[in-house]
Structure 1
């Protein structure tokens, strides 16, 4: 679930999407309600993509794909209802070098009988 969210949030289709928030919205079913409610402010600032870059990709019809993997480094102990990891997310624009992000991801669930939902994402270059 975490990999699916990361790849959805960070894969962009500038020719079809107004900005990065569209990718964030696509992943909202896998997010908890509180975090998903902030898509309008959070979605556009997760990756350092300038408006100029987005417009260039849009003009050229370029899609940017993302690959993600969870890190093996130390992380808080998983609980029945909490999960936290650092992930590596690579953005692959076909017109330039890939952009590598470290993404801190947290997930929660009300009980072990319910699926995980992302409760926080924080990206750093």
Structure 2
């Protein structure tokens, strides 16, 4: 059996050699002797269509202007949602955190839910007064130039100044205060707030 396999292999090799020689001879035909195949462009073998990255996840309409690929944009929008309330209908500050949740790291939000009820230094008496007067508390946020840790490819920290203004239905300003919020955003495909401390 072994001998037959070898014999067949030799016949096959001879046949293959003849086929190759015929193919080479055919290449030197009508193209002319000076045709240089070595300088023909080669197919790179890459994709024939442009590769695209998936779009960022959809956000609620209130965050339509947020650039999810910009950590500062995410921090500012998250801070404004976190510290804005309607005390007459919001049971506590945690309602602001719930609205900001799409911009927060899921694990960070889940592990800190109880703390969000007392995030800003607002007393129960003050909250009740705002509620009785149908006040709306609006937060404005801006990234400051304060010192912060050096940026990393997937982690950015900033100090964000947050000004809370409580306004009566008449437009009268009832209270105004400013907080310094130390925020960290982590890149999880897109940027999300993963830590914060209020000072």
TM-score normalised by the chain length of structure 1: 0.90
The residue correspondences of 1:1-125 to structure 2 (distance < 5 A) are 1-94=74-167, 95-110=173-188, 114-124=189-199
Q: Distance in 1 between matches of 2:160 and 2:100?
A: 16
Work out whether residues 15 and 62 of structure 1, in 8 Å CA contact, stay in contact via their aligned partners in 2.
yes
Larger proportion of helix: 2
How much does 1:107 deviate?
0.8
Q: Is the 8 A contact 1:21 1:39 kept in 2?
A: no
**More deviation, 9-18/86-95:** 86-95
SS in 2 for 1:4: helix
Quick check: which has more Rg, 1 or 2? 2
The structure-2 alpha-carbon separation of the partners of 1:84 and 1:74, relative to structure 1 and needing over 3 Å to count, comes to: same
Distance in 1 separating the partners of 2:104 and 2:160: 17
What is the deviation of 1:39?
4.3
Q: Which runs of 4+ in 1 moved over 6 A?
A: none
Displacement of 1:81 after TM fit? 0.4
- 1:78-110 alpha-carbon deviations (Å, 9 max, x no partner): 111001011111111134341110100001124
In structure 2, list runs of 5 or more residues that go unmatched.
1-73, 168-172
| Cα displacement (A) at 1:42 | 1.9
Partners of 2:109 and 2:198 in 1: CA distance: 16
Match of 2:23 in 1: none
Report deviation, 1:4: 0.4
In angstroms, what is the RMSD of aligned CA positions? 1.2
Please say if residues 6 and 89 of structure 1, whose CA atoms lie closer than 8 Å, have aligned partners that are also in contact.
yes
